[in-house]
Amino acid sequence: MKRDGKIAESGLHVFDIRNFGASEIATPSINAAAIQAALDAAADAGGGMVVVPPGTWNTGTIRMRSHVELRIEKGAVLKGSVRQEDYNANDEFPENFWSADEEWSGGHLILGYKVENVAITGEGVIDGSGPAFFGECDEDSRFPHYKYGLKLHPIDRKWFRPGPMVAFFLSKGIQLKGVTLANPPAWTAHFRCCDGLDIRGVTIDADRTIANSDGFSIDCTRNVIVSDCTIKTGDDAFAIRASCRMPGHAESHPCENIRIQNCDVWSCCYGIRFGVGTGTIRNVEVEECCFHESAQGINFSTSWIPGAKGVYIGNIRVSRCEILECACPVGMFVCSEDWRICDVTFEDCRFESLNPISLLGKAGRMPERITFRNCSRKCLEHLKVRHHRGWSDQKDARFFDDNNCVAGLVVENCRP
């Protein structure tokens, strides 16, 4: 059996999955073993490129290896299995997680755990088979959340469905370039306690009726750039979190130094949600992005649990962005007792929404030093939704609503 082939222009040895037993007619377990063997061989050689050629390759969990690039060529589809036995167990490693409340497991299609210098590249598709885990919509459209309907409960009410489709934990030097991430069964891509994440030219194409079909979840991860991506999700497009649950991780792994630029974002929930957890989110720049159809374009949520410790969020800058066709362009939601939101700036932004900006404080504390500079807001008459309900015609032409409670609110050259 041929184990390696030619050397690519990059200098990496090339490992074709077909030379390890992968076949378009093979079962997911056979293909997963073949792809894993190719990844392992590349790692054992000191690094290399594993190539997925054109065709549809059914597979279960595959585990990335350090110094290995997984290249999915144009016309190639890595297709996620629908069988529980083809995915990793929930307890495969201590930092794994799952959600009984949201009804998804700790199984992942592509998994990186404590790896370094890894890449997923190419013009092909990673398809999580999301719709196969659901029947018809459980609920009709609810605006602004899940405006296309809602598939809330998977068919299997015991195992549920796989969790984050692409997941990296405690890893360094991760690249995602050019690929399409389609039909995730839950969150699309999750990065927890990682350092060095470079995402460029990636497309996320989720079934927008599936609950919890978030896009990029960046959790307690630092030194991140996301550029030139198109993201279509039924839930949050970006979740910038500080929610590592292992002892000490949230404190030792701040979510920081993140830059999001030139992305086209379509989300039924939040375009970007900052918050959730007990750690720190700081030093984030969002530039030249366009957000469509969101309940809120940019949201700050310190916690979902009343009275719990929340997140410290600081030094966030959003510039030259458009937030269009949304219910509310910017919102701050405070639920916890211990929290902080400070030094947030919106500059040269254009908003089109039914309702104005809402900035809330609670528990004797207020958001601090919030600035809007050179921003405009157009009040929409209505938003077209499939099912007319609630928010779609409750318009308010003001720039801010009456709930604003901010210490040091600066508004310069802004107009409703």
266: CATH:
2.160.20.10
**pLDDT tens sequence across 63-118:** 999 999 999 999 999 999 999 999 999 999 999 999 999 999 999 999 999 999 99
pLDDT at residue 1 in the model: 34
Q: How many domains does the chain have?
A: 1
**pLDDT tens sequence across 122-132:** 999 999 999 99
The answer to whether 133 and 157 are in contact (CB under 8 A) is no
pLDDT at residue 387 in the model: 47
Evaluated on CA atoms 382, 385, 387, 297, the torsion sign reads negative
d(CA 58, CA 78): 6
Segments forming the whole domain that contains residue 264 = 87-412
Largest CA distance in the chain: 71
**pLDDT tens sequence across 326-365:** 889 999 987 777 889 999 999 999 999 988 999 987 656 7
Is residue 56 assigned to a domain? no
Is residue 10 assigned to a domain? no
Is residue 192 assigned to a domain? yes
Label residue 388 by pLDDT band (50, 70, 90). very low
Average pLDDT for 131-147: 77
Is 310 or 238 the better-scoring residue by pLDDT?
Answer: 238
Is residue 63 assigned to a domain? no
The average confidence (pLDDT) of the chain is 90
Is residue 81 assigned to a domain? no
Is residue 42 assigned to a domain? no
| Residue keyed to tokens 């839930």 | 235
Is residue 330 assigned to a domain? yes
Percent of the chain with pLDDT over 90: 72
pLDDT at residue 162 in the model: 98
Is residue 125 assigned to a domain? yes
Q: Which helix (H) or strand (E) holds 197?
A: strand 195-200
**pLDDT tens sequence across 278-323:** 889 999 999 999 999 888 999 998 876 666 788 999 999 999 999 9
- Closest Cα partner for 371 from 344, 349, 404? 344
